[in-house]
């Protein structure tokens, strides 16, 4: 006996999504619960897979089971498939486990041919309706099953209607028949086949077409992008036709049980009288809001309202339903969980909890962390967006939309912004010295660099929109303009960009500010009841720290002291320090920086009252602080009173073949201990200062780029000595911790040794990914996209942590560190701290906290809660 | 009771080196075996350590034990310490476990003062001898124990002798006494202390001075450089004085039981009549060869000859002895294993085996692998070297000395060399495009770059001398000269360099060619009886392959195909390939390269008949093949018929922020599969061609820079497809392997997966070290020397593998790989393959083979044999 390939609707239920697909399981469940659903049956996803395994032939027994099911359908409906006297017509639809655009949609009215058309006309006493159904069927079948370009059919329709002078409904029976015949000729000309008159032949071809659409290009692309397995297969649903186009007592429509845009708890939808489903979607006529149904068909409306309430209660979630009213009788065609915006998702979750439908844990598991992202950034007004097309598209490096005047230099950005202008900073790529311009700008646009380029990282840190690596831009600094695909944007021209899509537009497009309603606060507070991971923020300024606290950060996991080096005129002292010939000169320059750093730390400590603040000592290569063009070097030489040649030589000397692997991190503090000393002093003097104000302060000094315990020991000794000195000088005692970044493979491998000294670890997963893969994030753009596209790597490892490789080092480092020091506090402060899949991994790895940019804190909180609830893995 | 701090000579033996030091154990052993040794005793190394632990005070009981030992000495000699009538005089010498320059040498004649001086004069009936002994004692004690600058004493002596008009022996008794008194005054003036007249005070101070010298700056430096532990401490030897200066029947000398320069098995040494030991060393008079002793004192000579034979037989090694003849009686003062040159070491080891004194295993363990290095390279004639001083010193990047005319451009090097000139190529740093000039030059000198810079690696590969990173050089290409410390070397000037010391000289210094005698061949063949590790060579050309075979390589572990890309005009086709816009253009350019590569492979396969050849597919970033100056770019644009701007843009586009972590290795072959395809085709067509000649060929195709199995899978598929095609086309079947480099941490971490595809692994420990440490070898020069100097790292990890960190990945990769594929062949082809300590580690890690540059193959063979014999670890 062959396998069971076919299930009648009454044989299935909601639990059978794997086998019947989402749509099939949905109608089966509705059937089971007594909702009026037109009878039908579902061909299983296994049959689809068997079809492919069988060389694109129906597997043994499938067709026989289809015929048996058809018999059952005939018995239920009292109609007969292919019978001119009383024809049974069916719809055929695809239905995979996950809703997927790109697969075959729907063929309606299947079973019509010249003979049954006559029967239908007689039976309904409505020849025009029958002709219209026939026309629709031939058109859909020709387009969807036989693959004729739909434009060709539309063109004929358009001509017949006098190019917009008449509506579809104005076409006469004869005209419709004529059109159907023209369609058949088009099919013959185009595909070289006759339109099949035999209903069984129609059905067989339609089923095969659904199977084939599973491997169509668009479906495969969609699965690749959405990481859905190719091996799931699709189901095929065959269902008795009901007709919303049988007169003014007929209608068809779609509805959501709650508003999918706002989450408002009212029935939301629209319908068309005397129409079939496709008309609603196609926008041929303007549909009426569902509320009008109450007035025109009060009984049907009441029944519909009851059914949708029943369905929502049954599924415990908002339902997206399709329905048809045939001569006053309501038929439910489909129900599924409704897609919704982030705002709506939050409100619905909160309302459902308040209504007692679901519990908080369910609510927390129901929101995709990425949905929160929408709520945290402005977006382009969709109506205005629709009117224009993008100039070019770069990488969506930091979400949010912004509009402003183009500027090409950070100083100009600063100047214009100070005059109240909104500006967009456009650069080939950005460097740390552009920081002030990035602060001043609404958004940043670069021609080079990846998702983790300087521009992208800094912009995300500031929660500012950024489009990076828009390779078609050619920035011409000399002429203060940028060329892109034949278009030129000059300084001062309006530009708009969308950091969520990577699109760049000429001109001004209005943006919509996000509304963070009370539901958001309610919802996000629930996450804290479940999560085990702490969530901190990466913040470098008091302003960042404040934002971080507002988003619920429980401390700072990474404060990058070097970002402070660029503010105002500080860079002069920093450069003086770098150019110093002697330890004394270096100390003199450092002495100028110390009070400024102290002030920064004080500000941050105040914002983080009661929470820990992890401060990383100087990390980047020194050449990042120096100018690189002769003119700037000349200026600098004058400022520090050295000869041009000498300064230039020093700049050259500091240039590195591989800066990522060069003279940076703790290597700086080891060669120049006075730098670490100054930073430690600034930290501890700030600690004392705010302590005196009554602030509860918890400084954690973090040494970067450690590869061996000996490096850490040396830096730790300096920090502890200075801490002792400051306590002695001020007479104020304080507690603090000294720890290290684990961002090199060797540090993870020797974590048991390093933990002898380190009181905490923070995994720097950006650098750890770079070194573990031997992959520079600045240079990966040439091949990494191909790697992801062709599944050489499952994901961009800079966006979502590489669990198999880099993840091993995270686990190893954590285990080995704790084997030496069981109380070791372990966190992570790379970009991955804000990535939900990575957060789930860090939860499993037993880390104490993640730290991410302030704007991703809510996402991390949610992801951490979901991880704790065991919902981090989604089965796809 | 206090610890035993003092051992009489007759209480010790040779096994007590840790406790008594090398010298103390040596005289004790001689005493035990009946050799005439002046009686004495040794203060233990533990006493030295206790002295430091005790705040630089003698530990409890030490002085009492010294006094007891002195009593024993008095009893043995019949003399009394400090007795004017019959004074006992002693020598005091340091003696640590390992012979160490920089520690206190010897104080002779201790116990003399005004009174005992008189006694000595009467007793010996030789007032002049006594006065001379007194003068020597005051001088040595003043200099060595009290720290007076020796020059001050020499100055007095010089004046008294009339500035060279008289010899020491011409000074009268009165003059000697006068000189001693002047010396005492100098001591008083210089150090503010009186010369101690009390012999016990003298002894106490001398012992303390030996202890202090253990922590003297030179001794500490020596230990740091030679990796000797600071905790060993030194012994102190106190011994009855015997006098070689008591007349013409007295003498003193040193000897080796075999010639330490050549190894020739004849007694080798020299002596001075009527002199004390220091005179031999100081070169005051020219000593006589030991053979003359046979004529002048035949009986003493016979006794001496017998004793030295006995000592050599006893120690089973060449002995370096000191002796004194006092009034016709022979005293042996010291014996130790003699230091010897590499040549001598080999000959002695082979002779001792042939004489049946030691077995082959002992012989193999007795040669330091580094000693072999001397034998494989020319060196500067030491006599000529002594006459000049170096202009500057760089890194000793590749051993051997060379002399030639300075040139600054590779083309010129090639041109002059083709005219028969010897040239030294001087560059700021070298790049792959300089390769032809490096081939033509005698040696390479660079101003920048470390021990593993391009110049260093390539030079070592070619066995050519190289001094790299000589930072004081300022190369002026425009004026074709180099400035160094005020000196200018112009094009064509003679320059000499010593790649073993890093020294650079102006002018021509003759070099001595190494003689590789039959002993070398005999010795090195023995290593193969013991070692378990295979030894292969890194070789890129048939010439390299031939050299490798001559040195005993058992195959090629790394053949870098890209080196072939620079030969002759091939670079044009390579550049054409890089600049190609389409796959077709790229294939057309590759088609030009294919037959040339095939020819190279054929040549290599022929040389390696019967042995495996591992060929790595293209590895370096493409920009390494492109010119970087506008002029060259213009030339190239013309050659390939493209616009200058376009070529320039492509050059810019390929520039990378971190080339080490960029678009290289298998990433090239994945983006441009046609490159891998061409290389595979060249390899397999060459395989078929030489197979037809009857060559036994074993190609192994190695994919570089793999981080995930998916990369390897894709490249492997190409290689296997091409192999199948070539076999089908030619009808010739052949076997081959496909494997991968393990040179990224992720590859080691996921080695179990990678071994599903790889048939062999080769650890690329250079890159693995760079990525594991996050350390670019090109940029490490700024801080790595400090790291090694201050013991932050025990060694330069690019020279000797970091066993704790990188080594873990080697072990992990090996274990995980073999867990998937037990037959997996595992090798290593980084620079570490030629480093003895690393070879020992790889032996322990269970690797199958190491691969190193051809000139280091004998060293690797020896190191591998020693590792197998369990002698890899030296206890220091």
DSSP assignment of A289-337: ETHHHHHH-HHHHHHHHHHHHHHHHHHTS-EEEEEEEETTEEEEEEEEE
Contacts of B661 in chain A (CB under 8 A): 658, 660-661, 770, 774-776, 779
CB atoms within 10 A of CB A280: 21
The H or E element spanning position A681 is: helix A673-692
CB A666, CB A716: distance < 8 Å: no
- In this prediction, residue B467 carries a pLDDT of 93
> For residue B874, what pLDDT band results from cuts at 50, 70 and 90?
very low
Q: What percent of chain B has pLDDT over 90?
A: 64
pLDDT above 80 for A177 = yes
CB atoms within 10 A of CB A113: 21
CB A794, CB A829: distance < 8 Å: no
Contacts of B744 in chain A (CB under 8 A): 772-774
Q: Which two tokens stand for residue A436?
A: 């002030």
- In this prediction, residue B516 carries a pLDDT of 55
Q: How many CB pairs under 8 A join A and B?
A: 161
CB B452, CB B832: distance < 8 Å: no
- In this prediction, residue A515 carries a pLDDT of 55
CB atoms within 10 A of CB A674: 18
- In this prediction, residue B430 carries a pLDDT of 86
> For residue A412, what pLDDT band results from cuts at 50, 70 and 90?
very high
* C-alpha A763 chain-centroid distance: 24
Which residue from B372, B323, B322, B320 is spatially nearest to B345, judged by alpha carbons?
Answer: B372
Nearest CA to CA, how far is A518 from chain B (Å)? Answer: 46
Nearest to A774 among B707, B778, B808 (CB): B707
- In this prediction, residue B872 carries a pLDDT of 40
Cβ distance of B746 and A770 shorter than 8 Å: no
**For B536-553, how does the pLDDT look when each residue is reduced to its tens digit (9 = 90+)?**
999 999 999 998 998 999
pLDDT above 70 for A388 = yes
A647-651, B105-109, B706-710, range with greatest mean pLDDT: B706-710
Contacts of B828 (CB under 8 A, 6+ apart): B557, B762, B763, B764, B765, B810, B842, B847, B849, B850, B851
Q: Is A653 left (phi over 0), alpha (psi -120 to 50) or beta?
A: alpha
Q: Mean pLDDT for chain A?
A: 91
Contacts of B775 in chain A (CB under 8 A): 661, 707
pLDDT above 70 for A871 = no
- In this prediction, residue A391 carries a pLDDT of 92
pLDDT above 80 for A463 = no
> For residue B44, what pLDDT band results from cuts at 50, 70 and 90?
very high
**For B52-111, how does the pLDDT look when each residue is reduced to its tens digit (9 = 90+)?**
999 999 999 999 999 999 999 999 999 999 999 899 999 999 999 887 766 777 898 999
Measured in degrees and rounded to the nearest 5, phi and psi for residue B322 equal -120, 140
The Cα–Cα gap between B375 and B101 comes to 25
Q: Mean pLDDT for chain B?
A: 91
- In this prediction, residue A420 carries a pLDDT of 85
Residue B454: active-site member? yes
Cβ distance of B771 and A745 shorter than 8 Å: yes
- In this prediction, residue A873 carries a pLDDT of 43
Contacts of B241 (CB under 8 A, 6+ apart): B38, B89, B90, B91, B108, B109, B110, B111
- b/e B438-464 (16+ beta carbons within 10 angstroms → b): bbbbbbbbbbbbbbbbbbbbbbbbbbb
- In this prediction, residue B283 carries a pLDDT of 56
User: Among B559, B666, B829, B852, which one carries the catalytic annotation?
Assistant: B829
- In this prediction, residue A102 carries a pLDDT of 67
- In this prediction, residue B12 carries a pLDDT of 94
Which residue from A270, A365, A281 is spatially nearest to A317, judged by alpha carbons?
Answer: A365
The torsion angle over the Cα atoms of residues A654, A657, A661 and A667, rounded to 10 degrees, is -20
Q: Which two tokens stand for residue A836?
A: 């939900």
Residue that is written with structure tokens 């329709």 in the block: A157
Cβ distance of B782 and A808 shorter than 8 Å: no
Cβ distance of A774 and B771 shorter than 8 Å: yes
Measured in degrees and rounded to the nearest 5, phi and psi for residue A592 equal -70, -30
**For A776-826, how does the pLDDT look when each residue is reduced to its tens digit (9 = 90+)?**
988 888 888 889 888 899 999 999 999 999 999 999 999 999 999 999 999
**For A19-69, how does the pLDDT look when each residue is reduced to its tens digit (9 = 90+)?**
999 899 989 999 999 999 999 999 999 999 999 999 999 999 999 999 999
Nearest CA to CA, how far is A789 from chain B (Å)? Answer: 12
Q: Order of strands across the sheet with B268-273?
A: B288-289, B268-273, B251-256, B319-326, B329-337
Cβ distance of A707 and B775 shorter than 8 Å: yes
DSSP assignment of A712-764: HHHHHHHHHHHHHHHHHHH------EEEEEE-SHHHHHTHHHHTTT-SEEEE-
- In this prediction, residue A73 carries a pLDDT of 96
- Lowest-pLDDT range of B14-28, B95-109, B615-629, B839-853: B95-109
Cβ distance of B773 and A667 shorter than 8 Å: no
The H or E element spanning position B80 is: strand B80-81
Q: Which two tokens stand for residue A314?
A: 């049954």
3-state secondary structure labels for all residues of B128-184: HHHHHHHHHHHHHHHHHHCCCCHHHHHHHHHHHCCCCCCCHHHCCHHHHHHHHHHHH
Average pLDDT over residues B224-240: 88
Average pLDDT over residues A610-634: 92
The Cα–Cα gap between B141 and B339 comes to 29
The Cα–Cα gap between A508 and A37 comes to 49
pLDDT above 70 for A875 = no
- In this prediction, residue A283 carries a pLDDT of 56
> For residue A469, what pLDDT band results from cuts at 50, 70 and 90?
confident
Which residue from A362, A368, A440 is spatially nearest to A402, judged by alpha carbons?
Answer: A440
Q: To probe the interface with B, which of A657, A790, A801 has the most B CB atoms within 10 Å?
A: A657
* C-alpha B753 chain-centroid distance: 40
Q: To probe the interface with A, which of B619, B654, B658, B756 has the most A CB atoms within 10 Å?
A: B658
Query: A562 or B695, which is more confident?
Result: B695
> Does residue B639 sit in helix, strand or coil?
helix
DSSP B16: G
The Cα–Cα gap between A622 and B786 comes to 18
CB atoms within 10 A of CB B573: 19
Q: To probe the interface with B, which of A455, A718, A746 has the most B CB atoms within 10 Å?
A: A746
Nearest to A711 among B778, B792, B804 (CB): B792
> Does residue B7 sit in helix, strand or coil?
strand
pLDDT above 50 for A594 = yes
Contacts of B808 in chain A (CB under 8 A): 749
Reported ipTM exceeds the 0.95 cut? no
Contacts of B656 in chain A (CB under 8 A): 776, 778-779
Average pLDDT over residues A178-206: 94
Measured in degrees and rounded to the nearest 5, phi and psi for residue A358 equal -130, 165
């Amino acid at each position: 006996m062959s396998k069971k390939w076919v299930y009648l609707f009454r044989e299935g239920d909601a639990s059978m999504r794997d086998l019947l697909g989402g749509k099939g399981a949905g109608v089966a469940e509705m059937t089971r619960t007594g909702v009026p659903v037109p009878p039908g049956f579902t061909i299983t996803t296994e049959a689809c897979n068997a079809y492919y395994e069988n060389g694109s032939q129906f597997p043994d027994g499938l067709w026989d089971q289809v015929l048996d099911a058809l018999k059952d359908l005939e018995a239920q409906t009292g109609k007969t498939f292919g019978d001119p006297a009383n024809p049974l017509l069916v719809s055929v639809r695809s239905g995979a486990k996950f809703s997927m655009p790109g697969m075959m949609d729907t063929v309606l009215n299947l079973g019509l041919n010249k003979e049954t058309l006559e029967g239908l006309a007689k039976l309904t006493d409505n020849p025009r309706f029958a002709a219209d159904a026939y026309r629709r069927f031939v058109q859909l079948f020709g387009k969807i099953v036989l693959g004729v370009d739909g434009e060709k059919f539309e063109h004929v329709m358009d001509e017949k209607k006098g190019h917009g002078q008449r509506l579809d409904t104005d076409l006469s029976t004869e005209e419709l028949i004529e059109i159907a015949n023209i369609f058949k000729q088009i099919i013959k000309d185009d595909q070289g086949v006759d339109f099949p008159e035999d209903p069984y032949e129609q059905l067989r071809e339609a089923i095969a077409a659904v199977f084939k659409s599973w491997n169509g290009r668009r479906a495969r692309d969609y699965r690749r992008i959405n990481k859905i397995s190719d091996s799931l297969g699709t189901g095929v649903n065959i269902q008795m036709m009901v007709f919303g186009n049988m007169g003014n007592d007929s209608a068809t429509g779609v509805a959501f049980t709650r508003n999918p845009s706002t989450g408002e708890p009212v029935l939301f939808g629209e319908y068309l009288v005397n129409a079939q489903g496709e008309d609603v979607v196609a926008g041929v006529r303007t549909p009426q809001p569902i509320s009008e149904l109450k007035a025109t068909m009060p009984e049907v409306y009441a029944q519909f309202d009851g059914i949708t309430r029943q369905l929502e209660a049954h599924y415990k979630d908002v339902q997206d339903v399709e329905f048809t009213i045939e001569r006053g009788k309501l038929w439910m065609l489909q129900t599924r969980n409704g897609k919704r915006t982030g705002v709506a998702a939050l409100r619905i979750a909160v309302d459902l909890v308040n209504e007692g439908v679901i519990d908080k844990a369910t609510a927390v598991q129901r929101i995709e962390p990425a949905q929160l992202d929408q709520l945290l950034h402005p977006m382009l007004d969709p109506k205005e967006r629709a009117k224009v097309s993008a100039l070019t598209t770069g990488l969506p490096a930091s979400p949010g939309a912004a509009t402003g005047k183009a500027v090409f230099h950070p100083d100009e950005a600063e100047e214009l912004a100070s005059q109240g202008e909104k500006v967009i900073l456009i650069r080939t790529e950005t460097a740390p010295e552009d920081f002030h311009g990035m602060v001043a700008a609404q958004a940043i646009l670069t021609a080079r660099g990846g998702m983790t380029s300087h521009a992208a990282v800094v912009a995300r840190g500031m929660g500012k929109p950024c489009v990076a690596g828009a390779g078609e831009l050619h920035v011409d600094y000399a002429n203060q303009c940028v060329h892109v695909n034949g278009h030129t944007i000059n300084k001062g021209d309006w530009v708009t960009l969308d950091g969520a899509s990577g699109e760049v537009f000429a001109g001004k497009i209005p943006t919509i500010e996000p509304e963070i309603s009370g539901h958001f606060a309610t919802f996000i507070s629930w996450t804290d009841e479940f999560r085990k991971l702490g969530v901190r923020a990466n913040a470098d300024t008091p302003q960042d720290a404040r934002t971080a606290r507002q988003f619920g950060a429980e401390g700072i996991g990474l404060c990058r002291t070097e970002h402070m080096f660029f503010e105002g005129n500080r860079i002069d002292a920093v450069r003086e320090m770098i150019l110093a010939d002697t330890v004394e000169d270096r100390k003199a320059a450092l002495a100028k920086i110390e009070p400024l750093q102290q002030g920064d730390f004080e500000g941050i400590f105040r914002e983080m009252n009661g929470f820990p603040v992890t401060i990383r000592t100087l990390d980047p290569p020194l050449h990042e602080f120096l100018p690189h063009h002769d003119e700037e070097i000349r200026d600098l030489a004058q400022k520090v009173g050295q000869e041009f040649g000498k300064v230039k030589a020093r700049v050259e000397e500091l240039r590195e073949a591989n800066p990522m692997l060069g003279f940076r991190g703790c290597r700086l503090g080891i060669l120049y201990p006075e730098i670490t000393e100054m930073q430690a002093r600034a930290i501890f003097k700030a600690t004392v200062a705010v302590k005196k104000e009554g602030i509860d302060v918890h400084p954690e000094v973090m040494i970067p780029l450690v590869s061996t315990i000996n490096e850490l020991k040396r830096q730790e000794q300096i920090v502890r000595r200075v801490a002792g000195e400051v306590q002695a000088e001020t007479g104020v005692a304080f507690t603090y911790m000294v720890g290290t970044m684990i961002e090199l493979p060797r540090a993870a491998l020797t974590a048991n040794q390093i933990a002898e000294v380190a009181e905490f670890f923070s995994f720097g997963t950006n650098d750890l990914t770079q070194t573990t893969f031997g992959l520079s994030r600045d240079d990966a753009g040439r091949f990494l996209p191909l790697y992801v596209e062709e599944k050489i790597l499952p994901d961009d490892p800079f966006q979502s942590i590489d669990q198999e490789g880099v993840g091993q080092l995270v686990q190893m480092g954590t285990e080995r560190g704790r084997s030496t020091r069981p109380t070791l506090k372990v966190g992570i402060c790379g970009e991955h701290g804000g990535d939900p899949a990575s957060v789930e991994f860090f939860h499993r790895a037993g880390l104490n906290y993640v730290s991410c940019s302030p704007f991703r804190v809510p996402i991390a909180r949610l992801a951490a809660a979901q991880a704790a609830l065991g919902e981090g893995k989604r089965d796809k």
